[in-house]
Chain A
Amino acid sequence: MSENELVDTHLQELRRGTIVLACLQLLREAGYGYGLLEELGTLGFDTDANTLYPLLRRLEKQGYLTSEWNTEQARPRKFYRTSAAGIRLAETLTKEWLALTGAITSLTKEEH
């Protein structure tokens, strides 16, 4: 495995899980599959469609998202929205993320 591939693997490990948090936060306002994928990309969360679509269903099954078919538009789309449990999960994950950010920052500070 080359140096670059190794770095990519580690980056992937680090990013894993952030997609869930990003989805939970973004879907406080209802959104649909492709729209969410675009939004994540624009915000800098590099996500594959084949990861995101199954993930949305898994989160729905776990009760963190609710879904509804919207047939008012030309294309009927399945809209997801973060449930109350999803909002609580997002808060927990955010708290953890901030704590980790603090910890990492203190690590890099000690170096200087």
Chain B
Amino acid sequence: MNATLTQRYIDAVVRSLPPASRDDVQAELEVSIADAIEARTATGEAADVSEREVLTNLGDPGILAAGYADRPLHLVGPRFYLTWLRLLRLLWAIIPPVAMCGVALGKALSGAPIGDIFGSVISVGLAVVIHVAFWVTLVFVILERTGSASTIAEWSVDRLPEIRTRGAVRADMIAAIVLLAVGVVVLFWDRFRGLVIIDDRSLPVLNPELWPWWITGLLVLMVAKSALVIAVYFSGRWSAIFATANTALALVFATSAVGLLTVGQLLNPEFITIAFTNNGVNSDTTRILAVILGAGIIGFGVWDIIDGWLKTIRDNRR
């Protein structure tokens, strides 16, 4: 014999309940439904019509079960929604770009054609965006069902963000991170593939002897600079501490680069020979070019230092 609608309804309700309460809910629900049907048939309604009406009024068994088990009917509720959104945005801003740069670098170094590089970067970027969203959401879905409200730090006025100043805008931070990524790619490309191609020969521009220690130092400087810009962004304004750190980074970079340039260690000697000397550029001209390059490095550093202090002064005036 086929199960009655009532039996199927009750089964659908209790199926997802914890075993401890299952039998009790089932017994109570059976009586309640029987009572309701009886009340309707007493007025002369057909039994099967009554059963349908009663069950229809009870509504989706999933909702009733959620009521019995005190389960939320949403993935992430108002308690956790904002935290979920903020975390997701932060991770989306950081992880996919880093992964995409990593893939681009790896592919480029292994000599993949440009189309392959683009394809990989886009597919990896999409996959990472989806993965980040999925795993973050999964954690919050579990929190929503198991966590207490105390899992999330309580909001207070101390957590109000500083009013964004013009010196600490998001664009600066993103530009700095993108620049870092491009810089890393260029450095590795130069080392393993060579930045210039002369007479079908590719040559590194930077002196290969700078590897690994000088280049490691340069990478550390670049990471430190990015960290500084990110810190400025999150604190909302420039301060004397940030400007001092910025000054120190710029000084270390400029003095090392100019120092290496002075002793002829910065650029690849082979590159200078092939590109300049072999083309009839005499050593005086080469020296003048070196001086211009050095002046450029110093000028860039000085501008960077002044820029930091100007933003500090402007932000502190507000």
**Which residues of A are at the interface with B, using a C-beta cutoff of 8 A?**
32-35, 37-38, 48-51, 53-55, 57-58, 69, 75-78
Contact = CB atoms under 8 A, between A and B. Distances in A.
A53 B27 contact: no
A58 B68 CA distance: 8
- Candidate in B34, B35, B68, B70 with the most chain A CB atoms within 10 angstroms: B35
A48 B58 CA distance: 8
- Candidate in B32, B63, B68 with the most chain A CB atoms within 10 angstroms: B32
Given A33-B32, A57-B25, A76-B31, 13 more contacts: A34-B39, A38-B39, A49-B32, A49-B58, A50-B57, A53-B28, A57-B21, A75-B31, A75-B34, A78-B24, A78-B27, A78-B28, A78-B31
Interface residues of B, number: 20
A40 to B, nearest CB: 14
Interface in B18-52: 21, 24-25, 27-29, 31-32, 34-36, 39
Contact of A50 (B24, B27, B34, B64): B64
B59 interface: yes
A9 B35 CA distance: 30
B296 interface: no
B111 interface: no
Contacts of A57: 21, 25, 68
Given A34-B36, A38-B39, A48-B57, A53 B67 contact: yes
A54 B57 contact: no
